[in-house]
Structure 1
Amino acid sequence: MLRFIRLALFPVGLIAALPASAQDEGETPADDIVVTGVPLREGEETPVTLQDDGLSGAVSRQIASEVDRFARCADLPRPDLLRRIVDGKPESGEAQRALHEHILRNSGCYGTIFPPIPDTPYYGKCNPVMVNDIRGNNICRADYDRGEIYEQVLRKYAPDLVINRSITFNPEIRADFMAREERRNQDRVLSNDLFWFASCAVQIRPEYALAMMKEEAGSGREARLQELMIKDGLPCFAGGKVEEVTVDSRQFRAFVAEALYSWAVAVKNVDSLIPQDLG
């Protein structure tokens, strides 16, 4: 069994390289796919368990709710901070300080007690929330804040994004994606495998990723799309057959949003989806 949940980090090398062709993961690229017609393959079993119960599930839901309220109140970060957050190296001080500054600048939108911790980059590095379980685990809220920002950017700057398997398996687009993301994530440690699995799953099922971004978080349809994405993405795991996957649905959504943004940048052949004329 593989547990794909927060606080459980993959050993280096667990995630396979992104498939160079659809044949590498056993299928032929589909033609253009109408997102509104994505089949949910009712009755098909998956080896995926969505980790929504217990203390950690309750804390994750609470974090996601607070992040959603904060995003609707604060809106997107100003352009210079936004580019550093979505296009910078995720675990670099520059990107973390940008998210930290955005939260400090909008402290009035913070849904819970706002502790006065100006020491950068506290809110952008992890911003831990205690689970209060027997092991004393924490959940990094920063992953959720970043994921919500990626979703906002996709809605605002790529509302009509079209992406399908014939695009994600295009050799030139895949090469552009890999070149940018290997450079951007070269120093990523804590969430490296989470991002690369999401990227591989988006490559294999981009239509499911697009559809999921349009669904309400926590809905049954979102859950089913996640299950199917992960099941179809099992070839992304190196080192043998994976029989069972446990995933935190809200965390997975955050990394899918980041991966989808990165694929959109490669598809559009740009450095960023943020317009240059914003300043």
Structure 2
Amino acid sequence: MDQDKYEQKVSGILGGKYKRFAVISSELTSNDSYMLFHFEDTLTYYKLIINEKEDTLSGYVSKDPHAILLSKDLVWHAEMTPHLSVIARTRAGKSVLCGRYMARLMQLQGWIVEYNSAKFDRYVKEFDGKSDPLEIVERAEYWCEVMLERLNKINDAGQEKYLDLPDLVDIGLFFDEIGNLNAALELDKSLKKRWEVAINRLTATGGAAGLHLVAISQFATKEAFLPSLARVNCSDAVIMLAGAADSADERRFLMAGFADLPQRNYKVGQGVARIITSGKKWETPHFFEAPWFI
């Protein structure tokens, strides 16, 4: 069998009532005697369908304030994997996922939320963020100071994490349109350096202080996303939607080892997600559908 395509070929064998199942990953058994195929029901929808006239997001609030429900079968446990990357082209559904759903849900769960974007939009205004490149950098530096204050408070209390101090709530920091931000910062090298220092510090130690970054961009390339250290710190929880999810080059930057996935031609709001602390299923990239508002 062609090693690059045997998962698809095994899926193609299935017919009749089993046609709804497909191989989503495979591996050798420990003694190398057998190939173990993992099947999944690919026709059952797990996306959250939210009727804005009838539903409020309060119905999706988790009893665990650190857990953010992303679909019926996926929960982001922010206390274990503190930062999240979202890569999606324009009109692929990233604004709905991040601003309309996640940011509002975080607020309902008691989080402090700030939404910064290099392109001014409704969520920048709604969540008291900034859109000017200089102001975005200054906000990143401000949150570095908050992080240090929190870490000192944790140390003074003789604890290790913010979870041990009930008055330290989670903080969700959204940085959208990072590609546009990087392009603007190219004109000011000193400001670019300040941004890189601040974002590297936030992603390196912010999780221990309860600061959770959601880094959002249209592309995962080095030019359009985070600097190398921050990228590594934000690679344990990744969502890619539509065309970005189908791009091997994009996955190579944030999902190392999973560049050679079958092409699926994902639609708006569809893609792949990998969050390593959300169960074995999500340790490898899996089909994901963002919440759908009607």
Structure with the largest fraction of strand: 2
TM-score (norm 2): 0.24
Pick the structure with more helix per residue: 1
Specify which structure has the bigger relative contact order, considering alpha-carbon pairs within 8 angstroms and separated by 6 or more residues: 1
- TM-score normalised by structure 1 residue count: 0.25
Q: Which structure has the larger Rg? A: 2
